[in-house]
Amino acid sequence: MAAEYEIINNEQQMHFEIHEGDEIAFLEYRFYKKDIAFMHTLVPERMKGRGLASALAAYAFQYAREHKKPVMVYCPFVSAYVKRHPEVREQLDKEFHH
């Protein structure tokens, strides 16, 4: 699913990004102790309605799984994504999410 878009991990900015012309959709992350925290998702107006935020969330969870990092969710979009994709719940940091 996430393969439809080329997603770049911009480690300097701590963003997973999709570039389209001069527009960038991104999911911002931070590392905290052993976890990765998903902070904020932003999709420019012109890029909305095509599932980019979901593609970024899917990529972010895949990244967390590959790097064996429990996930903390601060972003309301990612919270909604988790509700729609219960399979990623096991990746959430149990100490953080009750």
Say what the pTM is.
Answer: 0.93
pLDDT of residue 18: 98
Indicate whether 67 belongs to any domain. yes
Distances (CA, A) of 95 to 8, 72, 79, 86: 29, 9, 16, 18
List the CATH number of the domain containing 48. Answer: 3.40.630.30
The range of the structural domain enclosing residue 8 comes to: 2-91
In what side-by-side order are the strands of the sheet with 35-42? Answer: 8-10, 15-20, 23-32, 35-42, 71-73
Indicate whether 63 belongs to any domain. yes
Please give the chain's pLDDT, 98 residues, in tens. 444 789 999 999 999 999 999 999 999 999 999 999 999 999 999 999 999 999 999 999 999 999 999 999 999 999 999 999 999 999 999 987 65
pLDDT of residue 97: 65
Indicate whether 96 belongs to any domain. no
Indicate whether 44 belongs to any domain. yes
Let me know: does 23 contact 46? Beta carbons within 8 Å: yes
Number of domains in the chain: 1
Output the six-digit token pair for 61. Answer: 């969870």
